[in-house]
């Protein structure tokens, strides 16, 4: 059986995670949270007192690590050495160190293999910054979500306010997003790019529901066209 894979890339604050989860739920696909995988690896490193990017130590830890991702009722669970850490990885400390360990070539290679294997055994939709370019270059559907820096900053400020954090400076948030964009687009390993075969969706002037509807229509069109080509 050939499973369907959808790759969604885009810059920080473009709405990837929120929208991708909704699309996956409506289509009955598994949503692959790649960020949770990097968090889980980081959680394990921190529990073993590794708080610096030492590639030799990273490789040693990974060589003995039992890492598993399971889907139960379409919900993703990440297991480290048999323990479900899906909730334990959502801490400020883990967040702080995840970006550090995500730079490790060994960590990236380890997780990319896992992510590709998931696409071989499930209908999945996966979001990130290098999914179409590196992780799933042969995905059935490739989408690049974006929005203006101003709109992404506005959304981020609203997110903070929903959390009860009201003393947020919009201009500072905007500059942080610009800096993150530059970092993502110019990093040595797998920089953020839109591959030629990806469909660009600018969400600046769209509501979440409008983007979800647009993505579902696009995915269904692409899949139906592929089936037609196979029949012909």
pTM greater than 0.75 (yes/no): yes
Question: Domains in the chain and their CATH numbers?
Answer: 1-29+123-232 (3.40.50.300), 33-121 (3.40.50.300)
The answer on pLDDT for 163 being more than 90 is: no
**What's the mean per-residue pLDDT of the chain?**
91
| 231 vs 128, residue with greater confidence | 128
Q: Check whether 210 has a pLDDT greater than 60.
A: yes
Residue range 207-228: average pLDDT? 89
55 or 184: which leads in pLDDT: 55
pLDDT confidence bin for 147, thresholds 50/70/90: very high
CA nearest to 129, candidates 108, 154, 110, 148 = 108
What whole-number distance in Å separates Cα of residue 149 and Cα of residue 136? 27
Average pLDDT over residues 102-128: 93
- What integer is the mean pLDDT of 17-27? 94
Q: Identify the pLDDT of residue 200.
A: 96
Q: What is the pLDDT of residues 53-110, one digit of tens each?
A: 999 999 999 999 999 999 999 899 999 999 999 999 988 789 888 888 988 999 999 9
Which tokens sit at 119?
A: 């696409």
What is the pLDDT, as a whole number, of residue 230? 54
**What pLDDT was estimated at residue 227?**
64
Q: If pLDDT is split at 50, 70 and 90, which confidence band does 231 have?
A: low
- CB 1, CB 120: distance < 8 Å: no
Question: What six digits make up the tokens of 208?
Answer: 């979440």
Nearest to 68 by CA among 54, 91, 85: 85
Tell me the pLDDT band of 229, cut-offs 50, 70 and 90.
Answer: low
């Amino acid at each position: 059986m050939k499973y369907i894979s959808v790759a969604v890339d885009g810059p920080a604050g473009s709405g990837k995670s929120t929208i991708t989860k909704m699309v996956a739920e409506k289509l009955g696909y598994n949503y692959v949270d790649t960020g949770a995988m990097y968090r889980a690896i980081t959680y394990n490193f921190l529990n073993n007192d590794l708080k610096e990017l030492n590639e030799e130590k990273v490789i040693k830890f990974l060589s003995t690590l039992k890492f598993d991702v399971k889907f139960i009722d379409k919900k993703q669970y990440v297991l480290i050495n048999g323990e479900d850490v899906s909730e334990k990885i959502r801490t400020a400390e883990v967040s702080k160190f995840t970006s550090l360990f995500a730079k490790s070539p060994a960590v990236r290679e380890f997780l990319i293999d896992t992510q590709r294997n998931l696409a071989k055994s499930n209908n999945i939709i996966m979001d990130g910054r290098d999914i179409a370019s590196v992780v799933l270059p042969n995905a059935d559907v490739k989408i690049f979500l974006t929005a203006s820096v101003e709109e992404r900053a506005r959304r981020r400020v609203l997110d903070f306010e929903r959390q009860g954090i009201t003393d947020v400076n919009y201009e500072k948030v905007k500059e942080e997003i610009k800096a993150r964009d530059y970092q993502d687009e110019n990093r040595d390993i797998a920089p953020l790019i839109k591959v030629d075969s990806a469909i660009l969706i600018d969400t600046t002037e769209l509501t979440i529901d409008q983007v979800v509807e647009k993505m579902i229509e696009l995915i269904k069109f692409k899949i139906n066209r592929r089936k037609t080509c196979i029949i012909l």
